[in-house]
């Protein structure tokens, strides 16, 4: 197998890991105001703050590690296919900048949410503003990643010098918007399933109830996106991966409705992985098709680095990839227990009482509070 093929496959694997793992992070952030409402809940919102801390602490130990997959995918693309990297980041500059800003804002929100006043109107306003940052910092990337990858598969205007010749509105075509809505919906469902698996108590039951409302719209959006993708760009093998994605999503939804959270999470994770495999399979051997002229398309051959560079990168990947995977697997194992209100705030004060500084910090929750 040629090294260009190896690195195309490895980059696909890296994006798969990113979307499967960071996907539920995005979903949790989007669901923050939905599953822990400050007003209108059955308990009058008295436990909203605790429930939000439960949700944020569910991803606290892992969200930053999940983003490593994105950094490595970007670095691998830069090193293995520099022409692809240059055209992609120049043509998609504004969407990728918005994604970067959103991720930065979300990370800052996780760090600073618990550093304001512990109680009173100022403390409530402080946390409410950072909660908005978590919400938008999760929703924007979840939507724009779908827009970006749909455009990559569909093809964009590229000239003979491999320069992007379109505009921002070129990227906002109906197929790309469908892709954005699909990733947003699937990641939200993935996040709900993760919360049902990772938490216990009120947040868990609300997440399970939400599955019944998300099931039909998510399934319809995902089916529409996969069908349009395969009709326009499909190949015999990717019809198989698309069918696997659809079956896994439906199986995950069915398991979630029956309260089988582990199988539900497996289903949504496999659905995301199979969808990424479908997109990269439809793309091959191109890495960025040109809608101007097929002869101007970037491929794994004309966009690749030298064989020597790819050889050195391969040895580095062989040595360090198992180490990174082992460390991340260890992290998930250490923080595998379910979170509850009692675990996050064991000495929660009565409504109106002033909490002691630093009380109720969740052990091992990382920077998220």
> For position 168, what pLDDT does the model report?
85
Residue 166: Cβ-neighbour burial (10 angstroms; 0-12, 13-18, 19+): middle
At 170-192, the pLDDT tens digits run 999 999 999 999 999 999 999 99
| Region 3-337: CATH code | 1.20.1630.10
Tokens of 86: 């240059």
Residue recorded with tokens 């360090």:
320
CA neighbours closer than 13 Å in the CB half-sphere of residue 146:
28
pLDDT value at 41 more than 80: no
For the chain, the average pLDDT equals 88
**How much of the chain, in percent, has pLDDT values that exceed 70?**
91
> For position 340, what pLDDT does the model report?
86
> What are the distances in angstroms from CA 286 to CA 126, 150, 176, 281?
47, 14, 18, 10
The answer to whether residues 201 and 53 touch, using CB atoms and an 8 Å cutoff, is no
- The number of angstroms, rounded, from the C-alpha of 190 to the middle of its chain's C-alpha atoms is 9
At 299-327, the pLDDT tens digits run 999 999 999 999 999 999 999 889 989 98
> For position 361, what pLDDT does the model report?
40
Tokens of 109: 């929100």
Tokens of 96: 């990728």
- The number of angstroms, rounded, from the C-alpha of 280 to the middle of its chain's C-alpha atoms is 17
- Provide the strand spans (E) within the chain: 286-288, 298-299
30 vs 137: CA distance, rounded Å? 9
pLDDT band at 42 (very low <50, low <70, confident <90, very high): low
> For position 1, what pLDDT does the model report?
66
36 DSSP 8-state letter = S
> For position 347, what pLDDT does the model report?
52
Tokens of 112: 């600073």
Domain layout of the chain by residue ranges: 3-337
Higher pLDDT among residues 215 and 44, named by residue: 215
> For position 350, what pLDDT does the model report?
44
3-state secondary structure at position 339:
strand
């Amino acid at each position: 197998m040629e090294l260009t093929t190896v690195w195309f496959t490895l980059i696909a694997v890296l994006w798969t890991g990113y979307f499967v793992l960071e996907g539920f992070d995005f979903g949790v952030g989007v669901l923050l105001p939905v599953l822990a409402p400050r007003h209108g809940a059955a308990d009058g919102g008295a436990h909203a703050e605790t429930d939000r801390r439960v949700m944020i602490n569910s991803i606290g130990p892992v969200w930053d590690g999940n983003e490593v997959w994105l950094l490595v995918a970007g670095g691998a693309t830069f090193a293995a296919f520099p022409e692809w990297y240059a055209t992609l980041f120049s043509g998609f500059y504004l969407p990728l900048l918005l994604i970067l800003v959103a991720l930065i804002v979300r990370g800052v929100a996780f760090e600073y949410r618990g550093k304001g006043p512990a109680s009173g109107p100022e403390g409530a306003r402080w946390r409410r503003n950072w909660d908005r940052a978590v919400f938008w910092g999760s929703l924007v990337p979840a939507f724009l990643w779908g827009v970006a990858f749909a455009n990559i598969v569909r093809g964009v205007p590229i000239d003979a010098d491999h320069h992007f010749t379109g505009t921002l509105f070129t990227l906002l075509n109906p197929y790309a918007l469908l892709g954005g809505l699909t990733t947003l919906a699937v990641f939200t469902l993935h996040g709900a399933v993760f919360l049902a698996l990772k938490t216990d108590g009120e947040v868990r039951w609300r997440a399970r109830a939400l599955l019944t409302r998300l099931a039909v719209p998510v399934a319809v959006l995902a089916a529409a996106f996969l069908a349009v993708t395969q009709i326009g760009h499909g190949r015999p093998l990717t019809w198989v991966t698309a069918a696997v994605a659809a079956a896994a999503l439906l199986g995950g939804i069915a398991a979630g409705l029956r309260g089988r959270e582990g199988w539900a999470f497996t289903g949504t994770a496999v659905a995301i992985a199979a969808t990424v495999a479908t997109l990269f399979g439809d793309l091959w051997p191109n890495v960025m098709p040109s809608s101007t002229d097929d002869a101007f398309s970037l491929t794994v051959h004309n966009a690749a680095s030298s064989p020597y560079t790819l050889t050195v990168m391969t040895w580095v990947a062989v040595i360090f990839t198992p180490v990174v995977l082992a460390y991340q697997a260890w992290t998930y194992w250490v923080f595998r227990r379910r979170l509850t209100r009692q675990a996050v705030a064991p000495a929660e004060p009565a409504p109106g009482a002033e909490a002691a500084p630093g009380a109720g910090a969740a052990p091992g929750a990382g920077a998220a509070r």
